[in-house]
Amino acid sequence: MIRKTKVSVKICVGTACFVQGGADLLLYQDFLDPVVLANCDIEGVSCIGGCKDDTLKTRPPYIQIDDKIYGEMTQDKMCALLSEVVHA
């Protein structure tokens, strides 16, 4: 089953995130499944505040899926998370 609304995805491209792998995440069109890609609204943003959030126990790069922030993001993790959210 696929969600009825598009998933909002923000990729942090602030300095810390960008140099620690966020730049690779911006190539999402090259590694995301076309069905997942069609059901997501993805944008790069200057900062999502992950580095300043003491409750997060992760490091950059960060992405935000809907209202939740995820750290230590890789292309593989992003694929798995978005697939799970889109098909939930």
pLDDT at 2 exceeding the cut of 90: no
Degrees, nearest 5: CA angle 5-1-61: 60
Ranges of each domain in the chain: 7-86
65 near 21, Cβ under 8 Å? no
Average pLDDT over residues 11-36: 95
37 near 29, Cβ under 8 Å? yes
Mean pLDDT over the full length of the chain: 94
State pLDDT tens for residues 29-81. Answer: 999 999 999 999 999 999 999 999 889 899 999 999 999 999 999 999 999 99
7-86: CATH architecture = 3-Layer(aba) Sandwich (3.40)
Nearest to 77, CA basis, from 6, 11, 14, 1: 11
**What does each C-alpha distance from 38 to 65, 71, 75, 79, 88 come to in angstroms?**
15, 23, 17, 13, 15
pLDDT at 3 exceeding the cut of 90: no
